[in-house]
Chains A and B, each alone.
Chain A
């Protein structure tokens, strides 16, 4: 079993829909990253959080440390949001352990 599990693996949505991507982890962590990777593109850090909730534009990330769970929400999704979204967790040794990613496709 992977230490970091994401769901769903693939997600197709219509423009304007509300998107939720989930991440569950089985190890103790100090913080969690949400990353975005466009096809053929580099990786961009969207959020790093260790508690509560963060918001940036149409993106919202939440984390529940007790339940070892985080969610990434996208409001009013747009085709340019199409990308792979990756959850990664920091253990006590400062290394990131990555989920396998969620491929999001937003159709116009």
Chain B
């Protein structure tokens, strides 16, 4: 595709449910990043995938959060047992190595 795509664009869920957020990076980009933007807060790093290397998970806020990247392309961010404080916009970005990052439109997650 022409850019980074994310799905769904909006997700409303009930507290305690699991959610999966998907990111399709730009074709050929080796690096993929997940970020979170909470209401009134800045952007925060969650996780980084680079090629076949082990991902950098240092930004994941709890063990309820996990992510995988299959085949070096599509990535899924999973949040288990969602809490209200997980409500945020989850952004994915991709790049060709440590270069300019291209951001997706984000998934707005609302936990009721």
Enumerate chain A interface residues (CB-CB to B < 8 A).
30-31, 33, 35, 41-45, 48, 86, 88, 90, 93-101
Contact = CB atoms under 8 A, between A and B. Distances in A.
A50 to B, nearest CB: 11
A2 to B, nearest CB: 8
A31 B99 CA distance: 9
A98 B99 contact: no
Interface in B81-111: 91, 93, 98-106
B31 interface: yes
Interface residues of B, number: 23
Please give me the 6 A-B residue pairs with the lowest Cβ-Cβ distance, nearest first: A43-B103, A48-B100, A98-B43, A42-B105, A100-B42, A94-B98
B33 A45 contact: no
5 contacts: A42-B103, A43-B93, A86-B42, A93-B56, A98-B42
A48 B42 CA distance: 19
A9 B90 CA distance: 23
B59 interface: yes
